[in-house]
């Protein structure tokens, strides 16, 4: 049982009164509710960028610490440039060799130092690229999900995952989104790359329920189990049962196989 204040908060979150939410919660039937986005896209992006900057600073400090350790010096600063300057100063001040041999030794040390710095910068670059790729995928997933129309047969998150598994999505040098399938770029009638929003909406068509249709049903024989969504949709079409109706959902919930697959539903079954 919920506390009254918690009940009120949850109800407000989904746009219901406490009494309406309590009634839905206690109902034996399953109900689908829309959970609002807790963060705007701008807020999520800002948080990700802040995390990226903090991570990049930490990586630089770790690289500087490792470099100082490899050179055998102690430096309070966590800056790569400061480590290099300290090491060079140490070599000049402590060298007891003749001038020409000192120059040779300093050149050798310089090459060693450059190699260590290059390796550290390479690691930092890999971390940066990896983070940028993760950030791109995160933002892309949000854009895809936001482009999916309402009233889908399966959760929008599942439609999003299916879309991103089916298509390769990248950015060109000008920052434009490029969508391709099996190596072929999707283009419109004018031979321009298809916009992400339109590609998503076209893909999601197979997962949308037909609106304003009454429940039906001719009582056709039911299979023991449905292995995928398209099979259930086909049976519903043949037996005059409306997809996503209460009757369809009840039957599907009882007849889904353990390895049930949410595949794409052909237009002819919708």
| pLDDT tens, position by position, 117-144 | 788 788 878 888 788 788 888 888 898 9
Work out the angle at residue 136's Cα, subtended by the Cα atoms of residues 135 and 137, and round it to the nearest 5 degrees: 90
Element (H, E) at 29: none
Question: In terms of C-beta distances under 8 Å and separation of at least 24 residues, what long-range contacts does 90-96 make, across chains too?
Answer: none
| Helix (H/G/I), strand (E/B), else coil: 252 | helix
pLDDT the model gives residue 98: 60
pLDDT the model gives residue 216: 42
Residue 258, both tokens: 């353990």
With 50 as the cut, is the pLDDT of residue 148 above it? Answer: yes
List, in order, residues 6 or more apart from 77 with CB less than 8 Å away: 64, 83, 86
Domain with CATH 3.30.2180 in the chain: 149-208
CA 152 to chain centre: 20
> pLDDT-derived band of residue 218, with 50, 70 and 90 as boundaries?
very low
Of the candidate CATH numbers 3.30.2180, 3.40.50, 1.20.1410, 3.10.50, the domain formed by 149-208 belongs to 3.30.2180
């Amino acid at each position: 049982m919920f506390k009254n204040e918690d009940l009120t908060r949850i109800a407000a979150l989904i746009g219901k009164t406490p009494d309406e939410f309590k009634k839905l919660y206690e109902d034996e039937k399953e109900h689908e509710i829309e959970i609002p986005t807790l963060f705007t896209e701008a807020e999520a992006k800002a948080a990700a960028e802040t995390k990226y900057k903090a991570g990049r600073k930490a990586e630089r400090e770790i690289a500087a610490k490792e470099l100082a350790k490899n050179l055998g010096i102690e430096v309070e600063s966590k800056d790569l440039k400061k480590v290099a300057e300290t090491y060079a100063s140490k070599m000049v001040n402590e060298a007891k060799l003749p001038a020409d041999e000192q120059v040779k030794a300093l050149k050798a040390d310089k090459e060693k130092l450059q190699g260590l710095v290059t390796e550290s910068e390479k690691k930092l670059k890999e971390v940066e690229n990896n983070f940028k790729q993760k950030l791109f995928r995160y933002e892309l997933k949000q854009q895809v999900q936001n482009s999916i129309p309402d009233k889908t047969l399966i959760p929008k998150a599942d439609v999003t995952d299916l879309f991103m598994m089916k298509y390769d999505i990248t950015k060109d040098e000008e920052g434009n989104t490029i969508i391709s399938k099996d190596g072929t770029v999707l283009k419109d009638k004018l031979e321009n790359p298809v916009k992400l929003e339109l590609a998503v909406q076209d893909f999601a068509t197979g997962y949308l329920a037909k609106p304003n249709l009454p429940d039906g049903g001719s009582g056709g024989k039911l299979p023991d189990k449905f292995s995928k969504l398209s099979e259930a949709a086909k049976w519903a079409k043949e037996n005059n049962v409306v997809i996503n109706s209460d009757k369809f959902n009840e039957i599907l919930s009882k007849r889904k196989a353990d390895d049930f697959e949410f595949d794409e539903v052909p237009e002819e079954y919708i």
